Structure 1
């Protein structure tokens, strides 16, 4: 069986289907880097969400284009626009891609989409070993962490792909914007702890009152605690500030993706939920304490467990498929503020400016 990607077949146009959020995209960077290294002259297009435009621009060394996937029922990352699907598939077929890679989960729902793109060859994950094809389709490797899954897929398809390190390129404009925020809020990076209390799904959020206990304790110890998040998360950060008697800087809605990454790089510690910013910290080499509520911690936790301390209560319903927990959120309540504070203190003892 011929490998999908090998020295005898040099694809000129490659489509990568991964219509997921920022953290998911960052976990695919090692595979995208290996793909570009193997095919430096190829036109590589990400087929993804509309919100991935900045991601594509920032990683233009690996990705030449974003093609927006309009969504369909069964894909919860965006509202489905089924009326746009026929034109989307016609456009993909007209582009004449040499290869389409399915990097969007185990393949049960995503493989039919990739097949309809009309590429000369396609590869990706399949749900079970019976559907595996040597050199083209790999049975979903359940036990592997997310970045290593996609490297395994590329190796299965014939490429040399082993570097699992994350990265996040920052620009001079990002650094200037971060400097401005530090001055504006009188923040000293040597004493700065960033706290990110939001997550896209409520089931992935650790309780605000517990974040408040940790913020209060760290502030009393002399650390500057600053809150980050989107403008839509300001109600959460405002509520957290009301619960803490000491001043907390609120940067929610004030950062760009790039300036946030610079702040993460410069701070002493990040405390957050298991969401996209945890992968930014992994890319920046910044110490973090991550509370994994509902998610599959083995799949999504950063690989370096010395720099990144992950707390995940052992509950039988993990990983959670619900937007809001219907049974009282035991995965979140199973992690105490005292546990997170102890991990944070341990990380701060080992952190250097």
Structure 2
């Protein structure tokens, strides 16, 4: 790409944590190519903490006001004209659409008035000025965005995820470990939540897995947001009196630090799956509804993904209208079998010895 000096870059990706983590390899390659550029993210309000954490990759958050077709926020175009006017006044050199396959997201990026644009085109989509490539539907999520970087002439071979931890993160994690008497050597984190109900394995099955692992000597802690407290409470209750309910008690950084120290993560195909991948902690992921070819962790040995594939998958529904067979066809025993493989024979012996004591 030859558009002259690039000093101001804006990236459009107004999505949630797991989606943002999957874009980190592309952001990393972009920063490496333009170490002196000012790189701004147009994202959701929560992403202020993401930009703070990834200050080595991003310089600024510009809050996206929402638009029709973007369900992460109130769907209205009321604030869009003034937002685009302000963006045009910023005179960015390059605007990159990392939000998704194209369509209205490309219209928004073009409306920012940058000197050059880049992004993706849906099948059958009309050509755009700039570097717009066909949506690579056959690639895992992180590789889709590094593929665009490659088309921009940027080397982007490293697909590894990362979550930088601060001293405060480690200190908060240490405080939590002390307060809850957590033993990291036998800690299994169970995460029963997901943003969409159609992506959740039944909470009673998470509870059954938690109880079996607890009986085998693992220490169980259920994680989730404040809004997921009913789910984590059910899991902790089912796991037995020694289980720990951590709903709403961890920041992203403290949770990532705890994930890094845990033996195993058992979760839905949601943001915590990507946190486990970033921290290189073994996981068992029950993937209900989602496209595992797109969202599954890339290290298939460290991360075991269990999924059933009825004809309706991948799912486009918030609530499953078909009896949720993709979730129900993944048994508790299948998850336990995968969990004990991930824990390994040495850990299994340790936990069983603890259980006998």
Tell me the TM-score range normalised by the shorter chain: over 0.9
Query: Residue 158 of structure 1: CA displacement?
Result: 1.4
Are 2:103 and 2:125, in contact at CA under 8 Å, matched by a contact in 1? Answer: no
Are 1:115 and 1:122, in contact at CA under 8 Å, matched by a contact in 2? Answer: yes
2:224 aligns with 229
1:350 to 1:300, Cα distance in 2 relative to 1, 3 A: farther
Secondary structure at the residue paired with 2:36?
Answer: coil
User: Which region of structure 1 is more displaced relative to structure 2, 189-198 or 74-83?
Assistant: 74-83
Deviation per CA, 1:53-90: give whole Å up to 9, x if none: 10010000000000011111211112234221111111
Q: Which residue of the other structure, out of 186, 191, 198, is the alignment partner of 2:186?
A: 191
Query: Residue 319 of structure 1: CA displacement?
Result: 1.4
Work out the number of aligned pairs and report it: 348
Secondary structure at the residue paired with 2:253?
Answer: helix
Secondary structure at the residue paired with 1:28?
Answer: helix
1:125 aligns with 120
Q: Which runs of at least 4 in structure 1 moved beyond 4 Å after TM superposition? A: 129-135, 350-353
Query: Residue 18 of structure 1: CA displacement?
Result: 0.4
Residue 10 in structure 1 maps to residue 5 in structure 2: yes
> How far, CA to CA, are the matches of 1:277 and 1:350 in structure 2?
25
1:260 aligns with 255
Query: Residue 198 of structure 1: CA displacement?
Result: 0.5
Residue 64 in structure 1 maps to residue 59 in structure 2: yes
> How far, CA to CA, are the matches of 2:115 and 2:123 in structure 1?
24
Deviation per CA, 1:313-352: give whole Å up to 9, x if none: 1111111111111111111111111000100000000787
Residue 331 in structure 1 maps to residue 326 in structure 2: yes
Q: Which residue of the other structure, out of 204, 212, 215, is the alignment partner of 2:207?
A: 212
Residue 99 in structure 1 maps to residue 128 in structure 2: no
User: Which region of structure 1 is more displaced relative to structure 2, 64-73 or 129-138?
Assistant: 129-138
2:82 aligns with 87
Are 1:214 and 1:340, in contact at CA under 8 Å, matched by a contact in 2? Answer: yes
> How far, CA to CA, are the matches of 1:137 and 1:153 in structure 2?
8
Are 2:237 and 2:243, in contact at CA under 8 Å, matched by a contact in 1? Answer: no
1:300 aligns with 295
Are 2:117 and 2:130, in contact at CA under 8 Å, matched by a contact in 1? Answer: no
Unaligned runs of 5+ in 1: none
Deviation per CA, 1:94-138: give whole Å up to 9, x if none: 000010000011102211111111111101010127756797111
Residue 158 in structure 1 maps to residue 140 in structure 2: no
User: Which region of structure 1 is more displaced relative to structure 2, 324-333 or 72-81?
Assistant: 72-81
Are 1:204 and 1:292, in contact at CA under 8 Å, matched by a contact in 2? Answer: yes
User: Which region of structure 1 is more displaced relative to structure 2, 224-233 or 156-165?
Assistant: 156-165
Deviation per CA, 1:13-42: give whole Å up to 9, x if none: 001000110000000000000000000010
Secondary structure at the residue paired with 2:78?
Answer: helix
> How far, CA to CA, are the matches of 2:159 and 2:266 in structure 1?
23
> How far, CA to CA, are the matches of 2:346 and 2:225 in structure 1?
27
- Kindly report the root-mean-square deviation, in angstroms, between the aligned alpha carbons of the 2 structures: 1.7
Deviation per CA, 1:155-177: give whole Å up to 9, x if none: 11211111111110001111111
1:31 aligns with 26
Q: Which residue of the other structure, out of 334, 341, 348, is the alignment partner of 1:346?
A: 341
Unaligned runs of 5+ in 2: 351-357
> How far, CA to CA, are the matches of 2:279 and 2:12 in structure 1?
26
**TM-score, length-normalised on structure 2?**
0.94
